[in-house]
Structure 1
Amino acid sequence: MSPHPPTRLLVNGLDVEVQVDAHLLEAVLVPFLTEVAARPRASRRAFVFMVGPPGVGKSTLAAVMADAAGRAPHPLAVQAVGIDGFHLPHDHLATHYVSTPSGAVPLSAFKGAPQTFDVEGLARHLDASAERDLAWPAYDRRVHDVVPDAAPVTADLLVVEGNWLLLDEPGWRDLVDHASGVVLLTADPALLRKRLIERKVRGGLDPAEAAAFFERSDRPNIDRVLGSSDFSTVDLALAVQNDGTIQTIQQGEMR
């Protein structure tokens, strides 16, 4: 498989150089977006949900897909946004507590879990964005907080990425009704652990703190995404390999 030329993209506030296999982009991902855009729908805008556990690379792949669609021989206007912009603000998470066997712990210790999101706000935004151009909030990893109205949306096809978009729990399970297509991106849990700890270290934690955060927050989130999501609506399933390549997989291999 031939590599696609490296592309510089802004992902969660960070300028990153990314490279995705050209065959995957040209033979699978861009045709999938084109096919979804052509599906009948009642609203002006179509949504593609990209779902998967934390650390798997959803934000980057969604940005790459949108960029590649715009560069295709028959260009398609696509934008990528994430649900992390619907995290509750860090000040709220730091000042609201949950009871644990060890005592009261701030919600910020579980950042990324479903209870740290404004899911009602996300649902309202999906409703409103179906017909109108609205700016979406974003999560900026440089400041570790939400940036309101960070991403003006004008394209009629929007890739929405997030851990919990298929979560089969109250407040979340109806979100998929907005999706015209669904992509699952997954990976081996050991690879996710490595990536997530490295991400926290790059964000300023020492390795021991990063490993402790993984055990307290990231590992339960991985288990919850894979164990409590309804994957019956997935159209395209992809798996990140240990060497960083991405392969399509069959429905029975999704967990």
Structure 2
Amino acid sequence: MSLRRRLDRCGVSAPEIDALAASVSRVATIEADREILREDDVTAQCRILLDGWTCKYIPLNTFRPQILSLQIPGDFLDLQGLFRRRMDHVVASLTPCRIGVIPHDAFKRLMERHPRIGRMVQLEAVVELATARRWLLNAGHRQAYEGMAHLICELFTRAAAAGLAEASRFPMPLTQTELGSALGLTLVHANRIVRRLASAKLVSWRGRWITIEDWDGLTEVAEFDPAYLKPEHAAP
């Protein structure tokens, strides 16, 4: 469902969505905390996240790697492989996942037959780059409080677009350590920031769900503009 919603937002028709689904050669089940793709892997397949959450990072020998992006159901995990087959980062599961696998040759033929699917790939790449720029800004310039608020706004917006949110709350299967890693924060610092957001009555975190208590207040703190996440704004 998440993938169909994503493709529909990109203007892909129902028959084209069916053609994409038919091109999936297999569905892989991955346990949590597993490397799906490693740095320097050479891949001949594209992977679509059907269920679960994954992250991307670059492994480091001397420091704990920082999470560079998060993927939710409906996201492609390795579109770069269509153009640069050798991976320059790790893709890892944060939760149990189901992943649809499409061979590159089949995907390229699909894009040739259905130009709107090729257009969708372009839009996905543009949105991914725009998101990476926001993450760079959060980690390098914004204070931790504002950066965490922005990250929560982004994840809620993405979850809502994928049909994963319920009213003002969305699933958060990540630990505070993992969420803090996306901002370069320690567990102690991340925990302090989450408690501060809760004290300000902006969000609440119960179990594996985050509830937005005050959307307007949260977006004001974060200076959040969701335009960069919308494919229709990614290109003319």
TM-score (norm 1): 0.28
**Which of structures 1 and 2 has the larger relative contact order (alpha carbons within 8 angstroms, sep 6+)?**
1
Query: Comparing both structures, which one devotes a greater share of its residues to helix?
Result: 2
Query: Comparing both structures, which one devotes a greater share of its residues to strand?
Result: 1
TM-score (norm 2): 0.29
